[in-house]
């Protein structure tokens, strides 16, 4: 028998959804943040609704699934004008919606972003998480960011988000079972304000996972970041 989803019939299974919301105003540039969906579910689709809230504003919006960019658009919106971006996913991997809200240099820009990601509730991963966070005026080493070898990790994600009004350089390495992961040496990156990035690594072993590295100040404002290591298992 067909089952219903949001008032419409769909063959097979009932899908569920998670939502995230972001809004801000700026006379310069504001970085989209906190629109991160963990890779513990088989996401079916991602719908991003962007709305202008002031007279005029410019946006750059990127949707990333796992390590792959699946959408990137630049556009302008007037007050209450809406732009919708929708992409199919079909995989159990993290989803990140990032970008910028920019003014024209004269007037205040404003915008809101509402994201809905649907998923198949069957076959979800379990997860364990460790987090490290600090501010610094110079350099600070990443400390005690690890997961024990008490699970057979299918994969892991490292999510990094800069702090408000900070300019942060970051360099890190993923170590699994005491050795550098084959893809675990991540190049130097720079995060301005609350910019964020997620890295996904396949593990398929019962090993310890450690993130080693540092963040560094790259401007007069100081550096700050929150780094989250999440391991996924069945």
Q: What are the residue ranges of CATH 2.60.120.380 in the chain?
A: 126-233
Q: Per CATH, which fold does 16-120 belong to?
A: Jelly Rolls (2.60.120)
CATH 3.40.50.720 fits 126-233, yes or no: no
The whole-angstrom separation of Cα 177 and Cα 163 is 31
Tens of pLDDT, residues 180-198: 999 899 999 999 999 999 9
Give CA–CA dist 96/72, Å, rounded.
12
Q: What is the pLDDT of residue 123?
A: 74
Cα torsion 130, 17, 40, 183: sign: negative
Distance CA 234, CA 225 (A): 30
The percentage of the chain sitting over the pLDDT mark of 70, rounded to a whole number, equals 94
pLDDT for the residue 80: 98
pTM of the model: 0.86
Mean pLDDT of the chain: 93
Integer Cα distance of 94 and 91 in angstroms: 9
Q: Quote the pLDDT of residue 2.
A: 31
Phi, psi dihedral angles at 66 (to 5 degrees): 60, -130
Residue-wise pLDDT for 40-78, tens only, equals: 999 999 999 999 999 999 999 999 999 899 999 999 999
Is the pLDDT assigned to residue 23 strictly greater than 60? yes
């Amino acid at each position: 028998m067909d089952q219903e989803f949001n008032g419409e019939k769909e063959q097979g299974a009932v899908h569920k959804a998670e939502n995230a919301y972001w809004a801000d105003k700026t006379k310069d540039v504001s970085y989209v943040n906190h629109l991160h969906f963990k890779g513990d579910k088989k996401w079916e689709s991602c719908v991003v609704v962007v709305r202008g809230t002031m007279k005029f504003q410019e946006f750059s919006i990127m949707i990333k699934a796992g390590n792959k960019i699946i959408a990137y658009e630049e556009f302008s919106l007037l007050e209450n004008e809406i732009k919708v971006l929708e992409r199919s996913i079909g995989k159990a991997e993290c989803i990140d919606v990032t970008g910028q809200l920019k003014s024209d240099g004269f007037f205040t820009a404003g915008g809101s972003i509402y994201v809905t990601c649907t998923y198949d509730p069957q076959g979800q991963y379990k997860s364990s998480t460790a987090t490290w966070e600090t501010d610094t005026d110079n350099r600070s080493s990443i400390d005690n960011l690890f997961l024990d070898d008490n699970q057979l990790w299918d994969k892991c994600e490292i999510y990094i988000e800069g702090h408000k009004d900070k300019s942060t350089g970051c360099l890190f390495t993923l170590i699994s079972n005491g050795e550098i992961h084959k893809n675990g040496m991540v190049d130097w990156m720079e995060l301005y304000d609350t910019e964020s990035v997620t890295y996904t690594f396949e593990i398929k072993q019962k090993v310890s996972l450690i993130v080693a590295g540092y963040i560094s100040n790259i401007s007069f404002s100081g550096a700050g970041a929150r780094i989250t290591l999440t391991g996924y298992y069945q």
